[in-house]
């Protein structure tokens, strides 16, 4: 390269080193110079896969990240290792594909809605992908149809596929065209197998479910971006065991359940939390079947978890 500085995109984050692809297609191993913060948040990793960065070339294939260029969005979650910090998963994504399955492993109650709390604040479109359809019995298909109705009714798109049989894989691939897509899901749902079905040359590692726990085993240990086609990129992420949010408050939860927020405008009290208040339009909509009882239950659980966590944080700081 003729210049000592270059702009590029972070393709891989392993902690202290980042793999940056320059705009001319070359890869460089880069470190951070100085401290970077995200809107005052405490982060375990200040730079995420998908970030656009300005780097200074230090050696032949090594550089220093000097500046993070403006982000159009980002996805964060509570760090699974440091509970008082956030983990930056990715930045500058066009959409997210949440891979779930009804069986092997069984879908965790509330997991979908907890994931949506990471994307909804930034208006990131989410595609709900139900994998392993080749293993579904009549009961599992019934559960899929129920969840399909719940989420399509409020504006989310769902897909049913099997990365092993190939059913639905081609339409899913078409949904990724010319976009940067964050691929996420619980451990064991078949993310890596699905990505390999799209592009076998990536040859991502896969493992069966643990015979002892029936849960997925981590095959991806860090986020990494891959180019599938010209202009089409995916960000593969580590399997998620659970989701907590130490940076949210009750208003965040209320505003980002889209149907609850829509009905809340008709509540008697402006600060209605939609639990026990009189003349609550949300509770009335639940009773009338206009809001899913499942979504409302998950909303209440997130409120309870968030309030408990915020109370603990305040006590800790006293």
| Amino acid 282: pLDDT | 98
**pLDDT digit string, tens, across residues 152-170:** 999 999 999 999 999 999 9
E strand segments, 80-138: 86-91, 95-100, 126-130
pLDDT reading at 9 higher than 80 = yes
Structure tokens at 234: 């995916």
| Amino acid 199: pLDDT | 84
Place of tokens 């992908």: 129
Indicate whether 38 and 115 sit together in one domain.
Answer: no
Count up the domains in the chain and report the number. 3
310 or 313, higher pLDDT: 310
Q: CATH code at 9?
A: 2.40.50.140
Question: Which residues, in sequence order, are CB contacts of 262 under 8 Å at separation 6+?
Answer: none
Question: Which residues, in sequence order, are CB contacts of 15 under 8 Å at separation 6+?
Answer: 45, 222
* pTM score of the predicted model: 0.88
Q: CATH code at 232?
A: 3.40.50.300
- With CA atoms as reference, report the closest residue to 163 among 181, 138, 188, 137: 188
| Domain assignment of residue 243, yes or no | no
State the pLDDT confidence band at 214, using cuts at 50, 70 and 90. Answer: very low
| Domain assignment of residue 221, yes or no | yes
| Domain assignment of residue 241, yes or no | no
- Which domain covers residue 199, as residue numbers? 74-236
Q: How far apart are CA 161 and CA 58, in angstroms?
A: 46
Of 236, 261, 288, the last residue of a domain is 236
Indicate whether 299 and 226 sit together in one domain.
Answer: no
**pLDDT digit string, tens, across residues 42-87:** 787 889 999 999 999 987 889 999 999 999 999 988 776 777 778 8
Indicate whether 78 and 29 sit together in one domain.
Answer: no
| Domain assignment of residue 242, yes or no | no
Q: State the chain's mean pLDDT as an integer.
A: 86
pLDDT reading at 211 higher than 50 = no
- With CA atoms as reference, report the closest residue to 8 among 26, 21, 24: 21
- Phi, psi at 76, each rounded to 5°: -125, 155
Instruction: Mean pLDDT check: name the lowest of 13-22, 39-48, 109-118, 292-301.
Output: 39-48
| Domain assignment of residue 306, yes or no | yes
Of 211, 236, 261, the last residue of a domain is 236
| Amino acid 85: pLDDT | 78
């Amino acid at each position: 390269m003729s210049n000592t500085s270059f702009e590029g995109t972070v393709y891989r984050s392993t902690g202290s080193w980042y793999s940056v692809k320059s705009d001319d297609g070359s890869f460089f191993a880069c470190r951070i110079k100085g401290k970077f913060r995200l809107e005052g948040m405490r982060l375990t990793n200040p730079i995420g896969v998908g970030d656009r960065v300005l780097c200074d070339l230090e050696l032949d294939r090594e550089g220093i990240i000097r500046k993070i260029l403006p982000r159009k969005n980002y996805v964060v979650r509570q760090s699974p290792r440091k509970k008082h910090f956030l983990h930056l998963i990715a930045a500058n994504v066009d959409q997210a594909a949440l891979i779930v399955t009804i069986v092997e492993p069984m879908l965790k109650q509330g997991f979908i809605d907890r994931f949506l709390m990471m994307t909804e604040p930034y208006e990131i479109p989410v595609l709900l992908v139900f994998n392993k359809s080749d293993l579904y019995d009549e009961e599992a298909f019934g559960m899929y149809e129920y969840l399909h109705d719940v989420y399509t009714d409020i504006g989310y798109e769902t897909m049913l596929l099997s990365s092993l049989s190939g059913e639905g894989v081609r339409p899913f691939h078409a949904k990724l065209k010319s976009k940067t897509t964050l691929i996420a899901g619980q451990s064991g749902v078949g993310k890596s197998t699905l990505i390999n079905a799209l592009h076998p040359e990536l040859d991502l590692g896969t493992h069966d479910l643990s015979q002892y726990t029936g849960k997925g085993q981590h095959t991806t240990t860090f986020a990494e971006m891959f180019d599938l086609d010209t202009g089409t990129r995916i960000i593969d992420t580590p399997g998620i065991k659970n989701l907590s949010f130490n940076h949210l408050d009750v208003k965040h939860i209320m505003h980002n359940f889209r149907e609850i927020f829509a009905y809340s405008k008709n509540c008697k009290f402006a600060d209605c939390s939609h639990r026990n208040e009189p003349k609550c339009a949300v509770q009335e909509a639940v009773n009338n079947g206009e809001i899913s009882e499942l979504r409302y239950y998950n909303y209440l659980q997130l409120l309870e978890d968030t309030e408990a966590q915020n109370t603990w944080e305040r006590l800790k700081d006293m």
